[in-house]
Amino acid sequence: MKLKNVSQIINNVNDLENDICPITYDNLSQHLFSNNVIKLSCGHSFNYRAFIKSYTINNKNIYSYKKCPYCFSNISKIPLIINKRTLCNK
């Protein structure tokens, strides 16, 4: 079940609003099946790792706190992907 206005990890090409990641300029359809694409509540889609990096940098600034890095609209909670590889990287 897909919820509207909630940030989520997507794996279906029909859920993409934009085909290119605004941060990395990668084609997002290549990352769909590895669960590496996040769609924010504003509708913009990003490469997950690039979004998380941008999110942590932007959240240091009070004016861009909890905002989409592309349109700066407020976003809801973001899902975290935790796997063995993520936990082992130091």
69 domain residue, yes or no: yes
1 domain residue, yes or no: no
Buried-state track 9-38, b at ≥16 Cβ within 10 A, e below 16: bbeeeeebeeeebbebebebeebbeeebbb
Domain total in the chain: 1
Per-residue pLDDT of the chain (90 residues; tens, 9 = 90+): 455 678 888 888 888 889 999 999 999 998 888 888 999 999 999 999 999 999 888 888 777 778 898 998 988 788 877 766 655 555
44 domain residue, yes or no: yes
Whole-number pLDDT of residue 1: 46
Residue 27, Cα to own-chain centre: how many angstroms? Answer: 14
19 domain residue, yes or no: yes
Could you tell me the CATH number of the domain that includes residue 69?
3.30.40
Supply the range of the domain harboring residue 75.
Answer: 8-88
Whole-number pLDDT of residue 24: 93
In DSSP terms, 37 is beta-bridged to 47
Residue 82, Cα to own-chain centre: how many angstroms? Answer: 14
